[in-house]
């Protein structure tokens, strides 16, 4: 297992700068943000040009990783593969294919994305449609020796009423994904607020985890008593603010990292454990984000065997 982080938390820095910082601070791998250049959506970045992966870009990216002794664990492009607008959906699928081709060229084993959801259709209708649209993507990836990994994020901000916007949030849905040929990018934080024990949930599925993310979560039961499980309704000015929980860097929340990492090892997981930094306390500036990554490193480094 290697300890790394997702580069999207530092959108204004170059991949060279991030790699040098990662090496200096004891990280071993990078999950590289590969969104297309597309404005200011939160928690996205572009650290490689997946759609322009010619020989020069391949040499640049591989050279950065080699100079700093890092592996590239995954290319990250988390978007809605079931977007209700056909034109937007086609653009998403086209970029997923670019990321797959880029990963194959770079020797990166996985590409991360979301299943997504069309909020105008039922869950069963979405799942049937997802089976149709993902099979060609899975075949394209398999032919190039790449695995598509789906993060189990709820993406509640994608749904107009805060319901799940990414149909991959529970073990029930993981089993459906695996039948389609998809793999899991396991993130325990999302399970905690759903009331699912992440350690018990993940144990039977470790053989289908091709990548893992380390993000923590802090819940506030008194606020849940006010808002209920579905979170703020009248007062939700930010689609992502449920009101009774927030993400934290590992070590500042409620995930039992000692037991979780032990279960991953016990199950034979030998991929990357990649910090996904979305902590609002340690965010907002480059210095604070880097401090958050240092806190995560101090928490996880003793648990991940070099």
Residue 236's pLDDT band (boundaries 50, 70, 90)?
Answer: confident
Tell me, what's the pLDDT at 306? 82
Mean pLDDT along residues 248-254: 98
Tell me, what's the pLDDT at 37? 79
| Number of helices and strands in the chain (H, E) | 10, 10
Instruction: Answer whether residue 38 shows pLDDT above 70.
Output: no
**pLDDT, tens digit, 9 for 90 and up, residues 136-172:** 999 999 999 999 999 999 999 999 888 999 999 999 9
Residue 235's pLDDT band (boundaries 50, 70, 90)?
Answer: confident
Contact 33, 45 (CB under 8 A): yes
How many whole angstroms separate alpha carbon 303 and alpha carbon 100?
31
DSSP per-residue codes, 149-181: EEE----GGGSTTS--SSS-SSHHHHHHHHHHT
Domains of the chain are 2-300 (3.20.20.150)
Instruction: Answer whether residue 41 shows pLDDT above 80.
Output: no
Tell me, what's the pLDDT at 28? 98
Is the entire prediction scored with pTM above 0.85? yes
Q: What is the mean pLDDT of the chain?
A: 96
Instruction: Answer whether residue 22 shows pLDDT above 80.
Output: yes
Instruction: Answer whether residue 52 shows pLDDT above 70.
Output: yes
Tell me, what's the pLDDT at 77? 97
Contact 114, 81 (CB under 8 A): yes
Tell me, what's the pLDDT at 237? 87
Instruction: Answer whether residue 5 shows pLDDT above 90.
Output: yes
Mean pLDDT along residues 55-73: 97
């Amino acid at each position: 297992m290697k300890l790394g982080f997702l580069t999207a938390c530092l959108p204004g820095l170059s991949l060279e700068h991030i790699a040098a910082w990662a090496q200096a601070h004891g990280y071993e791998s990078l999950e590289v943000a590969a969104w297309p250049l597309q404005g200011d959506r939160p928690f996205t970045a572009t650290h490689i040009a997946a759609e322009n992966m010619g020989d020069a870009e391949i040499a640049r990216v591989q050279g950065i990783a080699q100079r700093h002794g890092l592996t590239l664990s995954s290319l990250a492009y988390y978007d809605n593969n079931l977007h209700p607008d056909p034109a937007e959906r086609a653009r998403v699928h086209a970029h997923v294919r670019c990321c797959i081709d880029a990963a194959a060229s770079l020797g990166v084993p996985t590409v991360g994305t979301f299943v997504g959801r069309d909020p105008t259709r039922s869950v069963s209708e979405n799942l049937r449609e997802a089976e149709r649209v993902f099979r060609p993507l899975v075949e394209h990836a398999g032919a190039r020796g790449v695995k598509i990994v789906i993060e189990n994020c709820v993406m509640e901000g994608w749904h107009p009423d805060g319901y799940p916007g990414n149909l991959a949030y529970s073990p029930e849905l993981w089993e459906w994904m695996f039948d389609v040929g998809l793999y899991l990018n396991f993130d325990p934080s999302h399970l905690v607020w759903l009331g699912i024990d992440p350690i018990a949930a993940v144990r039977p599925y470790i053989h289908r985890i091709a990548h893992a993310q380390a993000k923590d979560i802090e819940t506030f039961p008194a606020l849940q008593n006010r808002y209920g499980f579905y979170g703020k309704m009248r007062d939700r000015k930010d689609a992502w603010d449920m009101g009774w929980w927030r993400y934290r860097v590992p070590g500042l929340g409620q995930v039992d990292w000692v037991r979780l990492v032990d279960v991953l090892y016990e199950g034979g997981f030998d991929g990357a454990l990649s910090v996904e930094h979305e902590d609002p306390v340690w965010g907002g500036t480059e210095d604070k984000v880097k401090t958050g990554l240092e806190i995560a490193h101090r928490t996880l480094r003793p648990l991940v065997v070099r």
